[in-house]
Amino acid sequence: MPTGRARILSKAADLLEQNGTELIPWIMRESGSIYPKASIEIEHGALFIRHAASLATAPMGMMIPSMDGRTNYAKRVPHGIVGVISPFNCPLVLSIRSIAAALAFGNAVVHKPDPRTPISGGIILPASSRKPVCWRACSRWSPGGADAGEAMCTNPNIAV
């Protein structure tokens, strides 16, 4: 249910903020960030999750006007499994912005962070709490290098 997904995502944002001081050193260590940049990743990561939570309950369709008088309709539908491959620079934010949106719309996620930032770009998400949250239930973390990324890109079961 969309309201359930919104509630879970909001809780994930709360947990990310609550555990920020514990997570910032991991971002600094792995990506070479300075403290202010790492703290911005926590702050912006939580904002991305909260935005995704609001999208979960937003209308799933919209009318799009056209210049020729026809009516166009766009509808958001889950695709199934979404593959996310995130880079090493801003690992947390660049992972969250894709994962949270995919989960908000009812997709499952397979996530492969960059091998240089497996904690700050990957495992921080499900481990930001000692209790299971949305990430554990709906996503899987797949560390590895180019071979893991290639497997995700060529897997016919990963729709996006």
86: containing domain: 2-59+77-154
Q: Residue 137 pLDDT > 70, yes or no? A: no
The reply to whether 141 falls in a domain is yes
Three-class secondary structure of residue 144 per DSSP: coil
**Has residue 33 been placed in a domain?**
yes
| Total-model pTM | 0.82
Which range of 33-42, 81-90, 134-143 scores highest in mean pLDDT? It is 33-42
CA distance 12 to 127: 10
Instruction: Give the pLDDT confidence score for residue 10 in this predicted structure.
Output: 93
Helix (H, G, I), strand (E, B) or coil at 103: helix
Highest mean pLDDT among 32-41, 57-66, 80-89, 108-117: 32-41
- How far is it, in rounded angstroms, from Cα 97 to Cα 154? 23
Report whether pLDDT(55) > 70: yes
Q: What is the CATH number of the domain that holds 147?
A: 3.40.605.10
Alpha helix (H) ranges present in the chain?
Answer: 2-18, 20-31, 35-56, 91-104, 124-127, 134-138, 146-154
Segment (H or E) for 87: none
Give burial (CB, 10 Å; 0-12/13-18/19+) of 44.
middle
- The whole-number pLDDT of residue 127 equals 57
Q: Provide the number of structural domains found in the chain.
A: 1
Is pLDDT at 138 greater than 80 in this prediction? Answer: no
Kindly state whether residue 65 falls inside one of the protein's structural domains: no
Region 86-101 average pLDDT: 90
